[in-house]
Amino acid sequence: MTVTTLTDVVRQAQAEGRTVLTEEESKALLSQAGVRVTETRLAISKARAVALAKETGYPVVLKIASPDITHKSDVGGVRLNLATAAAVRRAYDEIVASARAKAPGAHIQGVTVQPMAPSGGVEVIVGMSRDRQFGPVLMFGLGGVAVEVLQDVAFRIVPLTRRDAREMVQEIKGYGLLTGFRSTPPVDLKALEELLLRVSDLAERTPGLAEMDLNPVMAYSDGTIAVDARMVLEKE
Ligand code: ADP
Ligand code: MG
């Protein structure tokens, strides 16, 4: 990836008149901040997607790359666990066709290619938004229905202390899912706390960031990895 510094990314976004950063750009910034992400690369053709898949190593994930599409799965824009070049070719066509049909008018750059994260993790989410009064605020919760339906989330004001990070993880109702549940081993709680601290640090250092959304992050017994990310810049 060539565009990696915040200045580069912001300049690029501003030149294109957008405030929403792509998954690729958001992950590059997170990676720089010490947050582990699935390395994500843009393919603007099917042949390039196949080449990137080979470089990445199978199985891979293909996702629609469009600054106008926020919820990629809603438009049929995410294909997981692709194990062969033929599967990548097919997924490329299907994703682009589906996105064109379901999001007419969206500017489609191509698709991104990234490694499939191992199974057996617990999906969590980390978010940052700016409160008029308190400034940047961090949110933590379990992924999926836990956040959308149950609103089982914890909030703290940035900058987080180590103790804040620990408390945020422990105070969600779904905490028991993180400490080992049936066949799922306990997740690495230290790594989760470290993740929260790094996102807090990034938010504190970067006043131009209005929002961050790491959704989801896979939490394992030996670390975490963010598989989807989105950032929004403050309007100038
Ligand atoms: P959306 O824009 O719809 O939020 P995501 O990138 O979050 O799209 O992908 C949808 C779902 O696919 C995620 O919630 C996660 O369960 C799964 N997923 C996405 N990327 C990966 C990956 N690299 N490895 C494993 N699972 C993934
Ligand atoms: Mg997502």
pLDDT tens for each residue of 31-40: 999 999 999 9
User: 6-15 vs 23-32: helix axis angle to the nearest 10?
Assistant: 160
Query: Quick check: 66 and 108 in contact, CB under 8 A?
Result: yes
Distance 27 CA to ligand 2 centre (A): 12
Please check the confidence at residue 64 and state whether its pLDDT lies above 60: yes
pLDDT value for 3: 52
Give the pLDDT mean for 134-141.
96
Compute CA distances 38 → 169, 208, 214, whole Å.
Answer: 23, 24, 12
Which protein residues are within 6 Å of ligand 1, measured from CB?
Answer: 38, 61, 63, 71-73, 78, 80, 114, 116-117, 123, 215-216, 227-228
Which ligand minimizes its atom distance to the CA of 20? 1
Distance 215 CA to ligand 2 centre (A): 4
Q: Which of ligand 1's atoms lies nearest the C-alpha of 119?
A: 25
Is the distance from CB of 214 to CB of 129 less than 8 angstroms? no
Residue closest via CA to ligand 1's atom 7 equals 228
CA of 17 to the centre of ligand 1 (A): 27
pLDDT on residue 176:
92
pTM for this model (two decimals)? 0.96
Which residues, including other chains, have CB under 8 Å from residue 5's CB and lie 6 or more apart?
A: 32
Report which of 142, 160, 159 is spatially closest to residue 151, judged by C-alpha positions. 142
Would you state the pLDDT for residue 1? 46
- Sign of the Cα pseudo-torsion (236, 39, 202, 159, in order): positive
What DSSP element (H or E) covers 18?
none
Residue entry with tokens 């929403």: 20
Compute the half-sphere exposure of residue 126: CA atoms within 13 Å on the CB side of its CA.
29
Q: How many CB atoms lie within 10 A of CB 171?
A: 14
Percent above pLDDT 70 for the chain:
98
Q: Which residue has the tokens 């470290």?
A: 194
Q: Which of 39, 228, 230 to mutate to test the pocket of ligand 1 (most atoms within 8 A of CB)?
A: 228
Neighbouring-strand partners of residue 139: 127, 155
**Distance, CA 80 to ligand 2 centroid (Å)?**
13
pLDDT at 92 over 60: yes
In this structure, what token pair is assigned to residue 209? 């960031």
Mean pLDDT over 168-187 rounds to 91
Query: Rounded to whole angstroms, how far apart are CA atoms 11 and 227?
Result: 25
Give me the mean pLDDT over the 146-153 stretch.
80
Place of tokens 């976004």: 13
Q: How far is the CA of 149 from the centre of ligand 2 (A)?
A: 16
55 by DSSP, 3-state: which? helix
Distance 132 CA to ligand 1 centre (A): 31
pLDDT of residue 179: 95
Q: Which ligand is nearest to the CA of 143?
A: 1
Whether 144 shows a pLDDT value over 80: the answer reads: no
